[in-house]
Structure 1
């Protein structure tokens, strides 16, 4: 039997996920990727994500999560119209969604990764934008009718193999990857993450504004503490160590 979600939870989640930080950045092109993450033979993430690119930044996010928010909104509106209690079951939600979002700021040269922790959207600086470290090979292949070239990079113990195309001369790609002389069409790393370009929506989304949810910048230590607090609150009804979720202002 599917677990029911009450209208109060729906309202709370809706209010937390629909507040966007508006920017003046107009989308110049968008790219859709199939994203997966396999851990110990188990598929943890199987989602479609979108990369919106503007002059000043890019935003990589889950379309599965966007669909989830849409269904919550529809259930809430229907409940108001009919005077009933809105309930959602686990079958109403897309499973295995990608729960992070990535903002690449071209001016500050920062890669910011954001995620929902309890009632907060928290973010950390994950990396800096750089083309250094990529080793471009002579090998090439065709992916979805696109001629691609191979490149590899190693950061710590993580080895990443990417295939990029010079036919789209954009130093962009899914997740936090950046810096190759063309859009990354396919990428896979040794942690089990993989993404492959499904299509380009350059004409569909061109002229629209990038909508990035408001987030609070924290340190990695604070993010870890927030996650522990959220877990303790969910399991025990109290904050870990008696503390509130720690955060700092933007």
Structure 2
């Protein structure tokens, strides 16, 4: 009964306090576990609405918005010859996460190859709330720990902001997560800004955005297999497309059409190099 009451009070807190709030986090992460001194930084945004929250990279969102608008502009005349030379994608974090209130179901949106996926999260977060308190920025916070996605995490949350949410997929504490770090300190988030944004910014699910190919929906177990297959063979989807009679045409900087076999060899080489460096994903259990 206590859990039901707590959940209801939490949802009421969200509904009354947090509509159209934006929380900015500094995300520091290490891609290569053998080079922990080479940390990268990204500004991540947690937008909270009455219906749910959305978490994504600011740079990626801004960059993709510009590129999408240019694509629409060029394709208005019906031309298939789209030139996006000079429009470079920015942002190091390419996924988005959506939590739906009040049940906090979590959906993870990402792209592998040319396919876009929505992964429905089934793994639960079992928090252990501890008595320790700490001042993080301007917030009085309390400590909590959990084992999740292959890592041991420490979170500092504040009941001053009565929202059971936080960065990435993390949620379920009696207040907003202000700081979060894994045991190795190779993935950390810290709240840097809080502001309200216009009520004109209504909730719109990532799954409803305009796409040219259908969104593939998987559970997290099936996604792990797809992730590992793509990591081992980045051309798997391309081979399937070609086997079905599809055609791939890419041009180099001079406008010359590139050889498909050479494209595939280049992709395989780049993937092997990337795998060596990208050995420390936040969700470490993907590699186990």
Name the residue aligned to 1:34: 26
Q: 1:88 aligns with which of 73, 86, 89?
A: 86
**Separation in 2, partners of 1:241, 1:71:** 30
SS at match of 1:67: helix
Q: What CA deviation, in whole Å up to 9, does each residue of 1:131-178 have, x standing for no partner?
A: xx2222222222222111111112475211001111101111011111
Residue aligning to 2:65: 70
Q: Is the 8 A contact 1:228 1:240 kept in 2?
A: no
Q: How does 1:25-174 map to 2 (within 5 A)?
A: 27-39=19-31, 40=33, 41=35, 43=38, 46-73=41-68, 85-88=83-86, 92-95=88-91, 97-127=92-122, 133-155=126-148, 157-174=150-167
Per the TM alignment, residue 108 of structure 1 is displaced from its structure 2 partner at its CA by 4.8
Q: Alpha-carbon deviation of 1:238? A: 1.8
Matched, 1:232 2:235: yes
State whether residues 46 and 98 of structure 1, in contact with CA within 8 Å, keep that contact through their aligned partners in structure 2. no
- Structure 2 spans left out of the alignment, 5+ residues: 1-17, 76-81, 208-214, 246-288
RMSD: 3.5
* Secondary structure of residue in 2 paired with 1:175: coil
CA 109–185 in structure 1, closer or farther in 2 if over 3 Å, else same: closer
Greater RCO structure (CA 8 Å; 6+ sep): 1
Q: Judging by fraction of residues, say which structure has more helix.
A: 2
After TM superposition, the score normalised by the length of structure 1 is 0.68
1:180 aligns with 2:179: no
Secondary structure of the structure 2 residue equivalent to 1:137? strand
Q: Tell me if structure 1 keeps the 8 A contact 2:180–2:188.
A: yes
2-structure distance, mates of 1:222, 1:195:
25
Greater Rg by CA: 2
